[in-house]
Structure 1
Amino acid sequence: MRLIIVFLVASSALLHSAYASAYGTINFTDIMPPEFEFCGKQVARGSTEYDALWGWFNNNTTGWYESKREYDLKLVYTSATMRVNLTKTRVIVSYAGAGSVGQVVKAAKTAGFNRLCKQ
């Protein structure tokens, strides 16, 4: 009986820590590459398209969670080390670092980025 209680307590602590670490704060402005491809053209620091993404990341550092799910590509910023996929209701960031690739997601409205692609 004591072993079952220890197992349940340990399992509960493990689940709580996994849930707590699944959501977090990330400041992507620190790791953005100097250039992306966006809507068929290269955009760099100082361009409207790049600076819009930088500003969005700067204002949206919390609420990110890790996801292994595959998402359809919609409006995408791509580089060798980072892909930012903007859907109507989510921002999905895939990035390379420390020998592995991670993916995090944040619920968000992204309609303003569609206007940037049409410029």
Structure 2
Amino acid sequence: MMLYKYKESYKKIAMGLLSFIPDLKELSHLQEVMDWYAQSEERQLYLWQNDHGDFAGVVGVEVAPDLVLVREIAVSPAQRQEGVTYLMLDELEKLYQRKLMGSIEVSSLITKWEQRKNG
């Protein structure tokens, strides 16, 4: 299980996973978000691959010098009960070695992850 940096060849998979986010169901808005990530090196999408080799999650981040802002995170419905979200956050923390913060939509999830990690 691990995170893979987004590549153009993953576009359909990434868009499919992002479409599980209620605000990104509309194709035009989803395309705007994909374009937004493509416009800056500080913004990255990562795909999560499960033990079976399937991409089952996506996380979008904005990297700052002292923290990583998690903007979007989504997991395929079949994997939602398996702690994939927390595994993705664990991997991001290892990758960047910085504090993870969440956008308004993601902040409660980050708080629960931190509580579990520090509990």
Q: Same fold (TM over 0.5)?
A: no
Which one has a larger percent helix, Structure 1 or Structure 2? 2
Which one has a larger percent strand, Structure 1 or Structure 2? 1
TM value normalised by structure 1? 0.30
TM value normalised by structure 2? 0.30
